[in-house]
Amino acid sequence: MTTSELRRAFRDAYGKDAEHVYFSPGRVNLIGEHTDYNGGYVFPCALSFGTYMLIAANGEKCLKFRSLNMPEVTEIPLNLLTTPLPARHWVNYPLGCIAQFVKRGHAVREGYDILIWGNVPAGAGLSSSAALEVVTAYAFNELLGTGFNRTELARIGQLSEQEFAGVRCGIMDQFASAQGKKDHAIYLNCDTLDFELVPVRLNGIKVVISNTHSPHKLDSGAYNDRVSQCQTALSELRSVRPELKNLAELTVEDFEKIGSAITDAVAYRRARHVVSEVARTKEAVSALRAGDIERFGKLMCESHISLRDDYEVTGLHLDTLAEEAWKIEGVIGSRMTGGGFGGCTVSLVRDEAIETFKQLVGQAYERKTGIRPDFYVAQISDGAREIND
């Protein structure tokens, strides 16, 4: 929908004009998966599609939430802004962000009418939840005049997801949505939150996202299980390296020396993925800076194999998309992106091979799964902002 169409929808819903329109993007992670909550490096970029929030003061003592993507209308009294709604209610994502402002001493003293619309495919692993969290954090940062920087807005989004949605997520998704820059990816140290904006120059190559239409559900428990398994591995490694803060501190060579301290076989594999993925991410960023896109693509493929075999978060749908992509001439690299358990793959595809890629990968995927995938040629975009047109 265009901004004018969204403004018209707000008038239809609330009988008045929106005072502000905010936007925050989804993201795709080029490499560095399941490393963020282990203190490692990630390499995401913001996308041109995301979540819009239209808002106007209502003179009442409540927040009214409507979404063009959801049927229900939800009203929250101002004295209940720190109380979560029942599990899996979509309003928990923005409400959790607003609660963070209240907990920091910034009371919401007037009510607002709010309309949400997003064009990030839900459940695709492109961070529709983070886009919703960050657009809320950005909007209320402006409305309340709190002056938080973009890194703090990302933290607010992360805490919302952890406390109100029950997902023990890292900060990558919210950080990319807040800090994104057009034609750049974010090389982020998730331990220190130091980051660099790295130009993504893909001459004659596009970022293509393939949607399995097998939605991932990070709140189903499997994601939180991986977090716990990594913590188990870290705890056992501390028996030989007491000073170890995060799994990501280990080099591959370190892990080969002390990994046997992990007695649980599953936890060992989870840790091995994290350590090798951090090394791959560092090498991939170096390769991109050096213009070695072929090496970058090979590391993407290695990342998927590790996520398949050691972290076990891919499954039939993601594996089929990635493995069929690897067969296509002109595909530089392909891997799952996001939390896994469904969602999307991200591929680097030469311009002249894009249509062949869509046709052959799409046909093979549909034969194996009975599902028709969707493909998006991604545009790398800016982070959260107010839209004034």
B/e letters for 178-193, b = 16+ CB within 10 Å, e = fewer, are bbbbeebbbbbebeee
State how far the Cα of 349 lies from the Cα of 364, in Å rounded to an integer: 17
Give the C-alpha separation, 193 to 186, whole Å: 11
The side-by-side arrangement of strands in the sheet containing 344-350 is 331-337, 344-350, 205-211, 374-377
Structure tokens at 224: 């939180």
DSSP string, 255-279: HHHHGGG---HHHHHHHHHHHHHHH
Other CB atoms within 10 Å distance of the CB of residue 359: 12
**226 Cα distance to chain centroid:** 17
Contact 380, 49 (CB under 8 A): no
Strands 20-29, 44-57: pairing is antiparallel
Q: How far apart are CA 70 and CA 61, in angstroms?
A: 23
Q: List the catalytic residues.
A: 173
